[in-house]
Amino acid sequence: MPVFYGTEIASALMLGTAQYPSPADLAEAFRRSGAGIATVSLRREAAGGDGSGFWDIIRRLGVRVLPNTAGCYSAAEAVTTAQMAREMFDTDWIKLEVIGHADTLQPDPFGLVEAAAILSADGFRVFPYTTEDGILAARLLEAGCEVLMPWGAPIGTGRGLNNIYGLRTLRAQFPDVPMVIDAGLGLPSQAAQAIEMGFDAVLLNTAVARAGDPPAMAEAFARAVEAGRMARAADPMEPRDMAAPSTPQIGLAMLA
């Protein structure tokens, strides 16, 4: 099971808490998935008046809460949001998002590193939403991050793992750093692929919350993540360029 900042998490599946058709669907999705972490947005929590009803639902899930700075477009805004989230949710864990492009929701690398350094110095355990860029990853680690959360694809697109080469390279470049594929997953098979590649966990929201049956889709992702974990542990074969027969050549009939 994944370990983040010295804390072991019960599942390699992490779920967001936005966009569900109903609170009942949200609760049932978490129950059937066994997800170990719930990400919550301070903006989402505060959107409905005092937010107490939503926060009560989250508490009853019985999972670790990871607040995020979703919707922040500058380091200053992200830092302020993180500080407010620490007070509201009583945790020093924060999923750091500093968005650089409104259409793709791609992280702003400069603001991300700046905010990560400030928050790490302030005692936060930072989970940065980043890209597969290895140089950016190194800067985030230097800033104090001990976990990386590279995107699979832009948030909410469901396109899966857009840059397989880049993600494999990032995983190989920092083999001992816990990594979570965050955003862009649309199918359970894509989650299994991420775990097979050596990533420690996956985080998703839209693929479950906007499915026709969110609890069933959450369970499907949970099974896929477990399949990926078992496959990774079983040491899968490497791809080959040439065919190799599975049936031995010895003993074949010889025709005159």
Residues in the annotated binding site for 1-deoxy-D-xylulose 5-phosphate: 156, 183-184, 205-206
Instruction: Provide DSSP, 158-202.
Output: ----S-HHHHHHHHHHSTTS-BEEES---SHHHHHHHHHTT-SEE
The two three-digit tokens of residue 176, written as one number: 């001992």
Q: Active site includes 10?
A: no
The two three-digit tokens of residue 29, written as one number: 């999705």
The two three-digit tokens of residue 69, written as one number: 């700075």
Q: How many CB atoms lie within 10 A of CB 24?
A: 12
Residues annotated within the binding site are 156, 183-184, 205-206
State the amino acid at position 20 in one-letter form: Y
Closest Cα partner for 130 from 138, 118, 119, 122? 138
Q: Which of 44, 86, 95, 125 is catalytic?
A: 95
The two three-digit tokens of residue 242, written as one number: 């040439």
Strand, helix or coil at 40? strand
| Residue 198 φ/ψ, nearest 5 degrees | 105, 5
- Cross-strand partners of 16: 39
Q: How many CB atoms lie within 10 A of CB 46?
A: 14
Strand, helix or coil at 234? coil
Closest Cα partner for 104 from 190, 212, 184? 184
Residue in this structure with the two tokens 């140089």, named with its chain if needed: 135
Question: Catalytic residues, which ones?
Answer: 95
